[in-house]
Homo-oligomer: A and B are copies of this chain.
Amino acid sequence: MKEENNPAFSYRPIGIIHSPYQDPAGMPIQPQGARGVQGRVEIYEEYRPGLSDLEGFSRIFLIYSFHRSAGYGLVVIPFLDARPRGVFSTRAPRRPNAIGLSIVRLERVKDGELVIADVDILDGTPLFDIKPYVPAFDAYPDERSGWLSGCDEKVAEARSDRRFLDKTLDS
Chain A contact residues, CB within 8 Å of chain B? 1, 3, 6-14, 30-32, 44-47, 49-59, 61, 63, 65, 67, 74-75, 85-91, 95-97, 99, 101, 103, 126, 128-149, 151-152, 155
Cα(A129)–Cα(B59), bound, Å: 22
The answer on a CB contact under 8 Å between A31 and B137 is yes
Q: Determine the distance from Cα of A134 to Cα of B29 in the docked complex, in whole angstroms.
A: 13
Find the B residue at minimum CB distance from A142: B135
Residues of B within 8 A of A151 (CB): 136
Q: Is the interface of A mostly helix, strand, loop or mixed?
A: mixed
- State in angstroms the CA–CA spacing of A51 and B47 once bound together: 36
Q: How far is the CA of A12 from the CA of B11 in the complex (A)?
A: 11
11 residue pairs from A and B, CB less than 8 Å apart: A1-B46, A9-B126, A49-B74, A50-B86, A52-B86, A56-B145, A57-B146, A58-B143, A63-B63, A97-B128, A133-B143
Q: Which residue of B lies closest to A148 (CB)?
A: B134
A85 and B50 CA atoms in complex are apart in Å by 8
Indicate which residue in B13, B51, B58, B88 contacts A50 across the interface (CB closer than 8 Å).
B88
A141 CB contact (under 8 Å) in B50, B75, B126, B141: B141
